[in-house]
Amino acid sequence: MNRIVLKTERLRLYVASKAEMEQIIERQTDGDLQKAYQEMLDGYLAHPEQGEWYAIWMVTRHDGVQVGDLSFKGLNDDGSAEIGYGIKDEFQGQGYATEAVMSAVDWALKQVGVLRVEAEAEPDNTASQRVLAKCGFVPNGVIGEEGPRFVRVKSQ
């Protein structure tokens, strides 16, 4: 698998190595997040030719400090990919999520076979909903497990 690195004005996004993913899982204290991260690692290992669609992507500042992470939840046969993301508490409210999601989604929509990227945000997570809106996502009228679903479609 190619080591993908995306750079923005303030951030560097890259697909974490297996060892980095294992460290993230080991350090995670939230059981639900630990389970989700393990599923990402399992998908990464099961689909090495499409690892970037399953892996944890590290989000770091250019000085190397990790501000958060994101992931796609696989690439579906219908041309859709779902993105999830999180920014550490001490870095929230500084535009890092918007910058990272915009970069990752722009990259995803340039890939062959990708027609749209979807996301969910909990109903009371207005900050995440604002991030999605700033990144060109619109509500699609569906309620998912976590809340309203949003979609950004590839431009023709």
Helix, strand or coil for residue 6?
Answer: strand
What domain range is 137 assigned to?
A: 5-153
The kind and range of the H/E element at 74 are: strand 66-75
Whether 64 has a pLDDT exceeding 70, the answer reads: yes
- Give the pLDDT confidence of 141-156 residue by residue, as tens digits: 989 888 999 999 998 6
Q: How far apart are CA 116 and CA 111, in angstroms?
A: 10
Question: Which CATH number does the domain housing residue 145 bear?
Answer: 3.40.630.30
The number of domains in the chain is 1
pTM over 0.85: yes
pLDDT digits (tens, 9 = 90+) for 25-62: 999 898 988 998 999 999 999 998 888 998 889 999 88
pLDDT at site 106: 98
Cα distances (Å, whole numbers) of residue 37 to 16, 28, 130: 12, 9, 24
Asked if 59 contacts 11 with a C-beta cutoff of 8 angstroms, the reply is: yes
Query: Could you identify the residue written with the tokens 């920014």?
Result: 87
